[in-house]
Structure 1
Amino acid sequence: MGDRLTFLKGFIKRPREVGSLVPSSRFLEQRICRVIDAGHTRTLVELGPGTGGTTEAVLAAMPADARLLAIDTNPAFVEQLRGIRDPRLLVAEGSAADLDTLLVENALPPPDIIFSGIPFSTMPEGVADGILQSAWAALAPGGRFTAYQFRDAVCHQGRRVMGEPLVECEWINIPPMHFYSWDKPERVGS
């Protein structure tokens, strides 16, 4: 219940940064793990982890030698995330637009997976573009960027930076959630 209350307080204080009144369903968490292939990934970044429900689901699915960097701007969420006791988890308070700096500060290589629950539909277009450009630039060749969203704003914004997305939906969530994924080519020009 504490996670839900912290999440609700976060939404009330920062509704443009927290995309929902309630955290993700367990069905959504399971879908995220499948979409990002958490069981076979070594370096992951989560943008906008909220209170950590998705973070914990991904940690449970990750290999023992993988690392997950969770980045949030909300100090209350960051404090709660730091309470998750898993040596594979690194937590950073900061902006997703500063991803390159946060990767260096945490001694991480380019991530194989970046996944995001931040609400792109509520942020200024320039900020959204900056985050998407930062994520795409930081992603390892052959890596994947996935945004799970209620609205399709990231689909249109992402096309400008990364091209056409793969689209999936998880209907067992309130409200239903769409997944927009972009796979970075192995080589430039691919």
Structure 2
Amino acid sequence: MKVKHQFSDSIKLIRNIRTTGTIAPSSQALIRALLKPIDFETSRCIVELGPGNGCVTQALLRRMHPRSQLICLEVNHEFADQLRRFEDSRLHVYTACASSIRSILDQLQIGEVNHVISSLPLTLIDDDTVSRILVSVGDNLRSGGRFLQYQYSLANYGDMKPLFSDVKLRFTLRNMPPAFLYDCVK
């Protein structure tokens, strides 16, 4: 059954490759590496951009504090509907562009967030939109908050350097395809 579900997810990802930027769900190794910098005991609000089929979302929910909130912004209606099926009161799913973080936080009466996690395929998004997304991320992170992004290339590394006080880069081979992990501190 698990193989059938993974195959179905891969078909959805391939069918939506222009918005997902991938052909396979993120590996558990990638997810562990991506989330490693998060202190789940103190993080009360996390935003996830481009959650897709929810493999990172599920890992976040498993590790998050009971009083934390996870806000997911997904442009693909099919993926957003799939995420809404996760039964967890901490999860808020919006079918919205990643640059609309502020308006959603205002609806929820949230000032700043601890972390923004992103699976967005930035290399497939036009430069102006990438710039708006990254500025929105920086504007809504608390001081010392982290923007955690994975990519399959270094194409957007230069976009992050001027917006964050510290940008660290890691790499994992344990994903298909292998991925770069950006850890950007505000």
State TM-score, norm by structure 1: 0.89
Out of 52, 70, 80, the position equivalent to 1:50 is: 52
Checking the alignment, whether the CA contact within 8 Å between 2:46 and 2:114 is kept in structure 1 is yes
Change (3 A) 1:178 1:35: farther
How far off is 1:165 after superposition? 1.3
Task: Answer with 77-86 or 170-179: which moved more.
Answer: 170-179
How far off is 1:3 after superposition? 5.7
Q: SS state of the match for residue 25, structure 2?
A: coil
What does 1:51-66 align with in structure 2 at a 5 Å threshold?
Answer: 51-66=53-68
Task: Answer with 145-154 or 88-97: which moved more.
Answer: 145-154
Change (3 A) 1:181 1:116: same
Aligned to 2:152: 150
How far off is 1:7 after superposition? 4.9
Identity of aligned residues (%): 28
Question: What is the alpha-carbon distance in structure 2 between the residues aligned to residue 57 and residue 44 of structure 1?
Answer: 13
Q: SS state of the match for residue 107, structure 1?
A: coil
Q: SS state of the match for residue 167, structure 1?
A: strand
Aligned to 2:91: 89
Change (3 A) 1:7 1:139: farther
Alignment deviations for residues 58-95 of structure 1 (CA, whole Å, 9 cap, x no partner)? 11111111111011000000000000011111111100
Is 1:168 aligned with 2:170?
A: yes
Task: Answer with 98-107 or 83-92: which moved more.
Answer: 98-107
Out of 10, 14, 31, the position equivalent to 1:11 is: 14
Checking the alignment, whether the CA contact within 8 Å between 1:164 and 1:182 is kept in structure 2 is yes
How far off is 1:137 after superposition? 0.4
How many residues end up aligned between the 2 structures? Answer: 183
Letter in 1 for 2:130: A
What does 1:1-190 align with in structure 2 at a 5 Å threshold?
Answer: 1-2=4-5, 4-13=7-16, 15-162=17-164, 165-184=167-186
Question: What is the alpha-carbon distance in structure 1 between the residues aligned to residue 128 and residue 40 of structure 2?
Answer: 30
Alignment deviations for residues 134-164 of structure 1 (CA, whole Å, 9 cap, x no partner)? 1100111111111111111221211243355
How far off is 1:97 after superposition? 0.7
Q: CA RMSD in A?
A: 1.7
Unaligned runs of 5+ in 1: 185-190
More strand by share: 2
Alignment deviations for residues 23-69 of structure 1 (CA, whole Å, 9 cap, x no partner)? 11111122222133345411100000001111001111111111110
Checking the alignment, whether the CA contact within 8 Å between 1:7 and 1:51 is kept in structure 2 is no
Question: What is the alpha-carbon distance in structure 2 between the residues aligned to residue 16 and residue 156 of structure 1?
Answer: 22
Task: Answer with 27-36 or 118-127: which moved more.
Answer: 27-36
Question: What is the alpha-carbon distance in structure 2 between the residues aligned to residue 38 and residue 169 of structure 1?
Answer: 22
Letter in 2 for 1:147: Q
Question: What is the alpha-carbon distance in structure 1 between the residues aligned to residue 101 and residue 10 of structure 2?
Answer: 23
Unaligned runs of 5+ in 2: none
